[in-house]
Amino acid sequence: MLATRAVGRNAAAMKYDILSALGAHALSGDKHRQRMVLRVMILVTTRYNWQSGELSIGRAEIARLWSVDERTVKRELAKLRAAGWLRIKRAPAKGRVTVYEIDFDQVLSDTRAVWDRLGPDFADRLGAAPAPEPEADPTVVPFQRPAPAAEPGDDTWTRVLRMLAERDAATARVWYAQLTEVEVSDGVAELVAPSRFVADYVRTHLTAQLLAGFRRVDPAIRAVKIGCSA
């Protein structure tokens, strides 16, 4: 992934590319995802400082831009931080609003699935084509990391979560740790998320990793279902 600091000679093109990726990503999702992405786009187009890479804005102003109350703003900003799209760079102080950073590398990573819909030139420009993998050496036997051994009291999900955390601690902390196992039955592992936002994100971006983790622990599992408790 390229470093998305839209300054310099190609700044204008990069800005349009980011907004195009966001728009296409929104249209591929449900109404909740569309609304969230539209709110991000409004912040970017009206208040984001591309030169400094900062978004300096208070909740009251965001509420006016989004036509919502400040409680909704607080809730939506928390979702954006959990998704990795938004970070607090400088906390608010007396007479000074919060300064945020938008992680456009994360934004583009999460919108990658729709790049091809914007044209091959778009995908090529943003580096969608993966680097070719080296040919496998037939004399080398690939090493398979064993599934974590069960400890007393462990259920299937506990073992899967521990293995996923070993591979990607950040994703496990932000996303997997929010999931709760409902049951494993007839080859299907059912998990529940605390909100529709989390459930939608996990279904879209992390189902394959979850299924691979479950199958390492229990090869009989052939599918993962993500529900929502809210």
Cβ distance 191 to 175 under 8 Å? no
**How far from chain centre, in Å, is Cα 8?**
28
Structure confidence at residue 47 (pLDDT): 93
pLDDT in tens, 132-169: 444 545 554 444 444 445 454 567 899 999 988 888 88
Structure confidence at residue 151 (pLDDT): 52
Alpha carbons within 13 A on the beta-carbon side of 150? 9
pLDDT in tens, 75-90: 999 989 888 899 998 8
Structure confidence at residue 38 (pLDDT): 96
Total length of the chain: 230
Structure confidence at residue 144 (pLDDT): 46
Domains of the chain, earliest start first: 11-125 (1.10.10.10), 156-228 (3.30.300.180)
pLDDT along the chain (230 residues), means of 10: 44 80 92 93 93 91 96 93 88 89 84 86 63 48 47 74 86 88 89 87 84 88 86
Separation CA 109–CA 218 (nearest Å): 30
Cβ distance 188 to 221 under 8 Å? yes
Q: What distances in angstroms separate CA 124 from CA 1, 10, 33, 133, 191, one per listed residue?
A: 11, 15, 26, 18, 36
Structure confidence at residue 207 (pLDDT): 84
| Predicted TM-score of the model (pTM) | 0.55
Cβ distance 216 to 147 under 8 Å? yes
